[in-house]
Structure 1
Amino acid sequence: MRLVVIAVGRLKQGPERELAERYRKRFDDIGRKLGFRGLDIHEIPESRARDAQARIAEEAAAIRAAIPENSVLVTLDERGENVGSQALAQRLGRWRDQSIPSAVFVIGGADGLSPELGPNEKSRIAFGAATWPHQMVRVMLLEQLYRAATILSGHPYHRA
C-alpha cells in the first residue's frame, strides 16, 4: 500500500519543510519493511478565485484529480474524529492487510474542504479542536504516519 498526502498550498523552504521531509524519509525507511510502498506528497496550488465557494470548488477538482483509483480517503478537519496514534496504526495495518492500493490523506486550503469529497471519504480525523496552520498540520500528519509505522513494527519510538 502506498500512502499519499494531498495538501492545498506549498510548503516553502525552511524548518517546517525540513521537518516534514525528515518524517517522510523516516516513514519510507521503516514503512518498506512493513509492506508500505512509500509516502508521496502532492501539493495542490491554492485557488485564486475571488470567493470562498469558488476556491473550494477549484481546489476540490484538483484534489479529486490527484486521488488514485480504489484509494481509502482520509480528510483532515478540525471537526473530525480525534484518533490516537495506536488507532491510526491499526487502521493503516488493516488497510494494508486488505490490499488496499493506497490511503490518501487530504489537507484542505484556508477555506476548508468541499463536502463533495465526502462520498469517497473513509474517515475524517482531527488533531484536536484547535485550528492549526496548514504547514504544522502537514508536519503533524507526517509524524503520526511515521509513529504509526513504528507502532506496527514494534519499534520503541512510541512509548504508550
Structure 2
Amino acid sequence: MLLHIVARGRIGRSPEADLVARYVKRLAWPVRITELPDQGGRVPPMEPQTRLVLLDETGEAMGSMAFATTLGRWRDDGVREVRFMIGAADGFDDAARAQADLLFSFGRATWPHLLARAMLAEQLWRATSILANHPYHREG
C-alpha cells in the first residue's frame, strides 16, 4: 500500500527535511511525497481504492496504536494508496473535510507545516513498525 504525502509548501534543505528523509528511509512500505506551491498547483488525481486523510486541527487525535490499526485495516481491505494531505496556512474548507476518509490531528495546537510533515513521517514509520510487530513501540 502506497503512503502518499501531499504537502503545501516547499521543504527545501532544512532540519525538517532531514527528519522527513530519516523516517521515510526507514519505512518498509512505499512512500511518495508530492510538494505543491502554497496556492494553486495540481493535486495528483486519486485512483480508485485510495483513502484520503487530511491533517486538520479539528480531526481525531489518534494514538499510535489506533493509527496503526487504521492503516492495517485499510491495507487488509485492499486499499492501494493512503493519501495524507497537509494544507496551506488556512487549512481545509468544509467541502474538503467532507470528502476525507479521516481527519487526523496532532492535537489542538497549530504546528508549522514543515514540522507537521516530519511528525507525519515519524508516525507512519511508527505505525508500520507496530504492524510488523517491531519491539520498539510499546503502549500500555
Q: Same fold (TM over 0.5)?
A: yes
User: What is aligned with 1:79?
Assistant: 58
User: What is aligned with 1:112?
Assistant: 91
Following the alignment from structure 1 to structure 2, what is the Cα–Cα distance between the partners of residues 76 and 67? 19
User: What is aligned with 2:46?
Assistant: 68
**How much does 1:14 deviate?**
1.8
Which structure would you say has the larger Rg?
A: 1
Unmatched runs of 5 consecutive residues or more in structure 1: 32-37, 48-57
* Equivalent position SS for 1:89: helix
Report Cα offsets for 1:68-119 as digits up to 9, x if no partner: 2121000001111111100110111111111111000000001112333234
Query: Is 1:43 matched up with 2:35?
Result: yes
Against the structure 1 CA distance between its residues 68 and 126, is the aligned structure 2 distance closer, same or farther, given a 3 Å change threshold? same
Of 112, 115, 122, the residue aligned with 2:101 is: 122
- Determine if contact 2:7/2:86 at 8 Å carries over to the other structure: yes
Following the alignment from structure 1 to structure 2, what is the Cα–Cα distance between the partners of residues 128 and 67? 29
**After TM superposition, which residue ranges in structure 1, 4 or more long, deviate above 6 angstroms?**
none
Unmatched runs of 5 consecutive residues or more in structure 2: none
- Greater helix proportion: 1
- 1:1-160 pair list within 5 angstroms: 1-27=1-27, 30-31=28-29, 38-47=30-39, 58=40, 62-63=42-43, 66-70=44-48, 71-160=50-139
Identity across aligned pairs (percent)?
A: 44
User: What is aligned with 1:53?
Assistant: none
1:69 aligned partner, one-letter code: E
Normalising by structure 2, we get a TM-score of 0.92
Following the alignment from structure 1 to structure 2, what is the Cα–Cα distance between the partners of residues 141 and 67? 21
- Determine if contact 1:76/1:126 at 8 Å carries over to the other structure: yes
